[in-house]
Every structure is written in C-alpha cells, then in structure tokens.
C-alpha cells in the first residue's frame, strides 16, 4: 500500500505543526501540506488530492463545517477528521460524513486510534484495487491468443467474484461508476465500458450501455428513428439504442 496522503487545515500555527509532528511518527501516513484558512485549504485539496484532511472547525474565511461539505461534494472518497477544542460540534461533524472527531489539546493515544482507523480503511481499499489487477493479469494469460475475456472480476460486498460473460446481460454507467447486470444481480466492476467492449463481443448500444446480444428478449421502435432493447433479466430492463448505433444493430440482427 502506498503512503496515505494527508493535508492539515488549521488556522493555529502551533496546533498545525504539533499535529504534523505527531503524524510524522507513523510510517504509513504523511502530511503533504498545511493550509491556515478554509479557502486556501480547498485550493490545496483540489491540487494535491489527499486521502485524508485533518480539519479545524473555527477558522477564518471558510469554517471547517463549510469546508467539509465542499470537500464531500468535490470528492466523497476523501476522509475528514475534525480537530477542534469544542465538543459541541461532534453531532454536526458526523452528519457531514466525518471519519473521526479529535479534541484539543492533542492526545497521542487518541490520535493513534484515528491513524489506525485510517490505515485499516485505506489498506482494505488498496487490497481490493490490487486483486482485480492480479486476476486480470491471469485472465489475460489464459486468453492472450484471442484477447477476449471469459470472466470479468466484479466486486460483491468487498469480495471479488469472477462473473462469466455469458451470464452478463448488460453493463452500464451509474454515478460515474461501471456496473454489470446479471439475471437478478448487479455488481460493481473496476473497468470502463470501453475496456469491457474491447475484451468482449458486447454491443455498444449507447454511450452508457453495453449489451450482451445473447440475452436480449425483444426489440421495439421508440421515437425519432431510435429503438429500445428489452433484456431477458428478471426486471426486463429496457436499454436505449442511440440513433448512431441503430444501423449496426440491424446489421447484427439481419433486419
């Protein structure tokens, strides 16, 4: 696992430097930069893309709560750890999705627990991201002559399973993430639609959909020269066919 990158946003210089020193004693995590107000902090976050932000609440220009909301809107994967002298903001802090809430003055043991929590989370994420790469390498070796995959590694509740491409009905994008749909389940997959299209015989029905033509139930005309495919999954999902792809679809189906 790569070192976890942190940014400190704290308007009190001594507190910021003390926190940086405490964090520096851990091998798995480091502070890449410090901002002394909320506005500068947001600029640093966009520039450096940290994994974690240690964030004070009472600050000039933009307070910590406002900044935390902005950070989560920008990238919800960034973890927020509030560092403050006041207990009264704790409930509000967790409402905005904070990972932890540390009170000043800093206590080494308390910060150690926070670091352990951060490392545990990011280590699991790292392991989950590496396993599909290892499986993909293996699949590439098995199918290197045809350059076509027979199974696709997918995530189910934190575990990697290999889904046979014959059991996939369609692949789609939702909230900028890629999923595959089987007869009655959906799974997250760490590939783009373009990567899946290159390694399968799936039909690009739409910029957000890939379709396994073997699992189509029916086809019907929609509007303005477009069509919809009805899949044979348990929900009878309907997939739009963009106008640009209708001609190719007709060629494939010989209609």
Query: Domain containing 42 — which CATH number?
Result: 3.40.50.2300
Residue 133 inside a domain? The answer is no
> What confidence category does residue 145 fall into, taking pLDDT thresholds of 50, 70 and 90?
very low
Residue 134 inside a domain? The answer is no
With contact defined as beta carbons under 8 Å apart, do 119 and 28 qualify? yes
> What confidence category does residue 146 fall into, taking pLDDT thresholds of 50, 70 and 90?
low
> 130 pLDDT exceeds 60?
no
CATH of the domain at 150: 2.40.50.1020
Q: Which helix (H) or strand (E) holds 252?
A: helix 243-253
Mean predicted confidence (pLDDT) in 156-169: 88
> What radius of gyration, in Å, describes the C-alpha atoms of the chain?
24
Residue 131 inside a domain? The answer is no
Residue 104 inside a domain? The answer is yes
Q: In angstroms, how far apart are the furthest CA atoms of the chain?
A: 74
DSSP 110: H
**Domain carrying residue 75:** 4-126
């Amino acid at each position: 696992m790569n070192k976890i990158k942190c940014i400190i946003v704290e308007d009190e210089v001594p507190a910021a430097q003390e926190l940086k020193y405490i964090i520096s004693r851990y091998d798995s995590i480091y502070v890449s930069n410090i901002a002394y107000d909320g506005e500068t902090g947001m600029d640093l976050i966009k520039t450096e893309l940290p994994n974690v932000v240690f964030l004070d609440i009472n600050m000039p220009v933009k307070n910590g709560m406002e900044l935390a909301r902005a950070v989560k809107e920008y990238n919800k994967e960034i973890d927020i750890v509030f560092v403050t002298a006041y207990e009264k903001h704790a409930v509000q802090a967790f409402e905005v999705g904070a990972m932890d809430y540390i009170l000043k003055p800093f206590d080494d043991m308390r910060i150690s627990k926070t670091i352990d929590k951060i490392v545990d989370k990011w280590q699991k994420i790292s392991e989950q991201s590496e396993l599909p790469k290892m499986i993909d390498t293996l699949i590439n070796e098995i199918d290197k002559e045809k350059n076509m995959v027979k199974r696709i590694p997918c995530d189910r509740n934190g575990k990697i399973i290999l889904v046979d491409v014959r059991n996939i009905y369609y692949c789609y994008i939702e909230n900028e993430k890629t999923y595959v749909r089987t007869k009655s389940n959906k799974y997250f997959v760490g590939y783009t639609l373009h990567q899946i299209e290159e390694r399968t015989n799936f039909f690009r029905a739409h910029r957000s959909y890939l379709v396994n033509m073997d699992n189509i139930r029916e086809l019907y005309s929609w509007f303005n020269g477009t069509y919809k495919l009805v899949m044979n999954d348990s929900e009878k999902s309907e997939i739009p066919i963009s106008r640009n792809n209708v001609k190719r679809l007709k060629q494939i189906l010989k209609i």
